[in-house]
Structure 1
């Protein structure tokens, strides 16, 4: 199979789509959507991150994700522990998102969104570093990863907009690297959509 094409599930069946077709079907409009991984909190955790971590531990059994959960989960079982260990948790997310060819990108990107929902203002100082890490992930032919990366950026903008808008010129200065002519057309389009 060509690396630029894939089988995509539509209406309970699989349809062959080229890379271009798959890219054109991606929607990064997060404003009109709800939140993505978990909309309900469990009674004990009261943390989107904790609930997301439990969910992904059931769905993603790759060694890359198991390694992440071993490092992070013993410290974090509820919102209070997340706040107490936020620096370690954010550092581990950054570390594991930088692992090349990881099989855990999708759950890790979702957990970035969930921790941003939990921490809000405390997540803002880390936005730029997460942005740069996520931009590095865009150099791929994996349409699912491209979509997840831009949805993550869109959700970060959605949850952190109150803080980002105060520094909008600075935010735009590093976000605009995705809009330059040396970027692929779909990257420019997704960047414009998610920033808008």
Structure 2
């Protein structure tokens, strides 16, 4: 795997509100936070750009709502902001895709000459997947760090329910099989980027 010298790491919604298990329910991949932190460290150490994305939920009961403690980044992310040798961007959004945030991520990528980016963060099948899909549609070379994401069990139509691990698998198959992104491991990314 080749990682461009200016490949961006897009860290999606790694916010304190996702720690509220009573709201979200059971999650998968307990090692995700360590993998996210390690990717930020490698990206910052190699001078590559990092994009920190925050979801500002307009829903009044959401743990990610503006003005609520849960809206803030998890401590390990906040501690790393502003520490890299490369460019850094902070994007806020109210929908799933980081490409519909402020400032305009696509415009920033184009201005910086970035054609490749890695997605990590929360939730696997929601904002992380949507950002990866849109990136693929916009012509970017997207790498999806599956083990640097996590999600939660989810209820759907017809009484169906999927466990978090099933949803993560479905995301990986859809992104990879559909040609939106290459689904990879954090270990492979760290090795290729170092």
| TM-score category of the 2 structures, normalised to the smaller one | 0.3 to 0.5
The answer to which structure, 1 or 2, has the higher relative contact order (CA under 8 A, 6+ apart) is 2
The TM-score with structure 1 as length reference comes to 0.36
The structure with the largest strand share of the pair is 2
